[in-house]
Amino acid sequence: MIQYQLRQVLPERKVDPSAALALLCSSAAAIVVWKWLVKRQIQKKMEKARRTQNEGLKKMAKAVQQFREQVPSVQTDAILSLPLLELAGRLQEGSLSPKTVLYTYLEKALEVTQQTNCLQHFIPECEEQLQEIQQQREKGLLYGIPISIKDHIGHKGHLSTCGLVQRLGTVVQEDSVLVKVLKRQGAIPFAMTNVPQSLFNYDCSNPVFGQTLNPFNHQKSPGGSSGGEGALIAGGGSILGIGSDIGGSIRLPSSFCGLCGLKPTAERLSLSGASGPVSGILAVPCALGPMARDVDSLALCMKALLCQEMFQLDPTVPPIPFNEEVYSSSAPLRVGYYDTDGYFPLPPCMRRAVRETRDALQAAGHQPVSPIPNRRYLGFLKKGIQLLWHDPLLLSCLSTGDIVDPNLKSQVNCCKIPRLGKKLLALILKPLSLAHTLKKLRRSRHGHGLHVISSLLPKVYRTEFIAQWRKLQLDVVLCPVLGPAFTIGYPGKLLTAISSTMLYNVLNFPAGVVPVSTVTEADEEELKLYQGCCDDPWDQMLKQAVAGAVGLPVAVQCVALPWQEELCLRFMKEVETLSREKRAA
């Protein structure tokens, strides 16, 4: 009836097939042209960013050359070899000038980034900060110390890209709280370091600024997402850096590059002014923290940051100053330990490092205690990793005008598989022991599941974990960290390998990494026998990722209860001292 009435009102028109075809073709052509224009616009943005980067490097190289001509007698190697505490002391007493130290590190940073591509850009305003600190009445704890900062930690007048093209046009209007406090303490931020695209990877590559290399082996990754910091500090181009950690992003580069790195309790240092690619990861809090060549450097940095200035600038930060008494204590520690989390078995050298460190601690008068595994442990790790790599969060930051980096493609492609497709693949691949990974990916599409994880699971498990900790009367925990350095391209294929670090992000415990050894020929031979959980393709891939690592750093992870960063650092210092004594023997 309705169709009849419409025909009476509207005249019938005969559709011309050729006109319809022409319309269809023109629409398709318009879409192709539009996509080409968008891609071309992205390419122009990337080219402009690279030109700006290259121009900045050339300007800084010219400034360094002018300084060298004015002061040709600078003992570069002597300055670069000074530990942070000694360098800070020399600057405080005036036997070294801040300008000499700054330009010495600028020159070295230029050399390191030419080899590893670790910098996004220098901070030209470092010269202004140099002049400003020399006019201050009181010298801060970091007076004259050049410091590098990760890309997404805001510095006024500079980009904060997170490795994303869509952020190239946005300039930060105000220093982050952390940068303000560093400047107040006399530090000189001089460089912004490279990161992986979206920060959701523990390699260090993005389409704009390219791949960062490990300074010890250019076939290996420096880790991520604070990989630029790791490469720069390990290469000698910075003495102190600030990174961030949401799944191991300070600890993994520290492990891969042989550095010390601390992930504090998330709220211990201000996050104000540090941007992220997405918001909404409620149960996995981000933490900012220091990276350096030794533990004393981390302690000095934390002592400088935990000051009244930070507490006033960001009232959400608990006003807890650094407890020097705890850090300086020499009382014996009761140390819980484990060499595998039972979820993703690590290479033999990393487990060896835990056992050797445990033995050294026991010989030094500490009391190692083997914790009893919690029944809910494996399930918690699986759900925690599911939460961290939640599909919509990863895809949302790449959905608006971004070319996906090759190192992120396998990760993004997994996220794009429809829910039904994941179910079918899980069924087909079940005999190959791959179903658990696909099951994880399939479940991550459920918004309700995300809410349950974010609001209930971490709190429940944190309570259980602390209860077990108290029952065993532990002071600290010694455990493995992922390593040694992966071959470039593998981190994006082995996301679940971060279980050893991710656990303490979800629990929100302070955790640090200390290098204690290097990969030996015996480790490499033992790796050939490694079978992991069930010798499946993931285990085989891990063997490929870490193969050829003889001589590269091997580290352990040190953990304390929330808000006990000083105790965590004190434990790290003990581990560092014992490992150095062993190497010197």
Q: Which residue numbers belong to the known binding site for substrate?
A: 199, 225, 246-249
Identify the H or E element spanning 554: strand 553-559
- Report whether 487 contacts 545 (CB < 8 A): yes
Q: Clarify whether 410 is annotated catalytic.
A: no
Residues belonging to the binding site are: 199, 225, 246-249
Residue among 148, 160, 205, 225 flagged as catalytic: 225
Residue among 108, 139, 148, 150 flagged as catalytic: 150
Locate 529 and state its tokens: 């026998």
Please spell the DSSP secondary structure of 323-372, one letter per residue. -HHHHH-----EEEE-S--SSSPPPHHHHHHHHHHHHHHHHTT-EEE-PP
Q: Clarify whether 150 is annotated catalytic.
A: yes
| Distance, CA of 251 to CA of 572 (rounded, Å) | 13
3 state DSSP class of 548? coil
3 state DSSP class of 435? helix
Locate 270 and state its tokens: 């201000």
Torsion angle, alpha carbons of 460, 466, 471, 477, to 10: 140
Angle between helices 295-305 and 177-184 (to 10 degrees): 100
Please spell the DSSP secondary structure of 180-241, one letter per residue. HHHHHTT-EEEEEE---GGG--SS-EETTTEE--BTTBTTB---SSSHHHHHHHHTTS-SEE
Q: Clarify whether 423 is annotated catalytic.
A: no
Locate 232 and state its tokens: 């720069």
Residue among 176, 198, 249, 270 flagged as catalytic: 249
Phi, psi at 148, each rounded to 5°: -105, 150
Active site members: 150, 225, 249
